[in-house]
Amino acid sequence: MMNNAEKLAYSMFQMGDRVLVGLSGGADSVALLCLLNSLKEALSLTVYACHINHGIRGEEAKRDELFCKELCEKMGIEFFCERISVPEIASRRKCSEETAGREERYRIFQELAKKKGAKIATAHNRDDLAETVIFNIIRGSSAKGVVSLKPIRENIYRPLLDTSRKEIEEYLEKIGQCFVEDSTNSKEIYTRNKIRHNIIPILKEINPKALEHIARFSKTLREDCSYLDKKAKEVYQKTYEDGALSDELLRFDAALVTRVLALFLEQHGAEVSYDNIKSLKDILSSSGKVNLSGNVLFQKRGHKLFKITEEENIERTRLSEGSFKFGKVKITLSFVDLKGKKDYNKFYGVLRLDADKISGDICLRSREEGDKFRPKGRPSKTLKKFFNEQKIPAEKRPIVPIIEDEKGIVAVLPYAIDERLAPDDMTKRLLIIETDMRTEE
């Protein structure tokens, strides 16, 4: 009875730890508080409790708050209470009350834990774990999402995760500790309650040890995911560079490809979902661009996959004399006849090149895989090496404007022209390139 919880607690907490318990007043959180209170002396713990009044159940919520306050006074535990209005928050955020309540609870717990220098302890148990696994499978989560409820996640600790709800209630009965019942737990207005009251009883009818087996499955799957995540990070380091992901990734196993694409989405602030991962995999194996949910754009250029902005999302553009826009960068081209005077050095602060050395049409484009050029007065090099020398951040490189003619790169704006087009004493006509990098409102 609660042996697993006590073992977990001893493995989780160290001598002198400060622990903040999320206390609702229900059986689970009360049992957790009692357990940690019983271990205070042995582990020299400082235990705090925080109760959240969600502003939903009126007088019943006030009853719960008072119960938690009096319980903590009885135990000599410092008590904190926050009152919020979950319905208002859910309406403002356009999400369910279930989601709004969870997000606010963790926000408040984290803020208070930071002030107190404490770890956070929540009362999730084996039954909650089974419900979460089922819930996440139903909503289409990946394997990683299915096992999202872990004994330790960052600074959140769950000592009861290997303990059943039945064992918790037996423990409270043994020590003579009462608790309060949340009336919403019996209402099937929330998805988890539907799982708890309908699906779980059927599973137990099929196999009385169903929840124990789901917990074991979750643990095994969590271990598998941990190993695959470690390998995926190794592959990511091999295939991700300068803000881009190489299609070399597709050489690896499908399980690793999926995880690397998830890391890539996270890196660029995009939603990690099955559909988004599939979309990236599709264009990585072919070409093109895709607008993912959340209006996040990605494009494959050469052998690399980049995140792009609306401003970058332009096709190769043929240039002539005049002004052009590359995203929010303004580029002005003008031809100057020197009329025999070798005075091209008077044009400062702009790129100038010999117009008569241009081969065919000139075009504006983004960088491409394998780009090379020879900066004036310097050896030939890859564009990647040039960017490194110029200390251009990886996220800015896809929007550096490139001008080329039929023979190759003419200029990298606003940094350098190619040696091939450098003016000399024989130059009769200049092409002047002015670049305004200022962001326009």
The tens digit of pLDDT for each residue in 31-78 reads 999 999 999 999 999 999 999 998 887 788 899 999 999 999 999 999
CA 82 – CA 401 distance, rounded (Å): 53
Q: The tokens 């090149």 sit on which residue?
A: 353
Q: Is residue 221 part of a domain?
A: no
The more confidently predicted of residues 206 and 138 is 206
Q: Is residue 212 part of a domain?
A: no
Residue 413, both tokens: 């704006």
Q: Are residues 111 and 144 in the same domain?
A: yes
Instruction: Please state the domain count of the chain.
Output: 3
Given this model, what pLDDT does residue 112 score?
Answer: 95
Q: Are residues 287 and 321 in the same domain?
A: no
Mean pLDDT of 368-377: 85
Q: The tokens 């600790």 sit on which residue?
A: 157
Q: Which amino acid is at 364?
A: L
Q: Residue 440 above 70 pLDDT? A: no
Q: Is residue 20 part of a domain?
A: yes
Average pLDDT, the chain: 86
The more confidently predicted of residues 336 and 171 is 171
* Residue 122 CB contacts under 8 Å (≥ 6 apart), including other chains: 21, 22, 29, 32, 109, 156, 157, 158
The tens digit of pLDDT for each residue in 311-364 reads 555 567 788 888 877 767 788 888 888 765 555 555 556 888 888 999 998 888
C-alpha neighbours within 13 Å on the C-beta side of residue 62: 2
Task: Out of 281, 308, 335, pick the residue that ends a domain.
Answer: 308
Given this model, what pLDDT does residue 345 score?
Answer: 53
Q: Is residue 59 part of a domain?
A: yes
Given this model, what pLDDT does residue 297 score?
Answer: 83
Q: Are strands 322-326 and 317-319 parallel, antiparallel or unpaired?
A: unpaired
Q: Are strands 429-436 and 362-365 parallel, antiparallel or unpaired?
A: unpaired
Could you list the residue range(s) of the whole structural domain that residue 361 is in?
314-436
Q: Are residues 100 and 193 in the same domain?
A: yes
What three-state secondary structure class fits 338? coil
What b-and-e string marks burial along 384-413, b requiring 16 or more CB atoms within 10 Å of the CB? bebbeeeebeeeebbbbbbbbbeeebbbbb
Q: Is residue 234 part of a domain?
A: no
Q: Is residue 233 part of a domain?
A: no
Given this model, what pLDDT does residue 108 score?
Answer: 94
For residue 193, give the CATH number of its domain. Answer: 3.40.50.620
Mean pLDDT of 157-186: 88
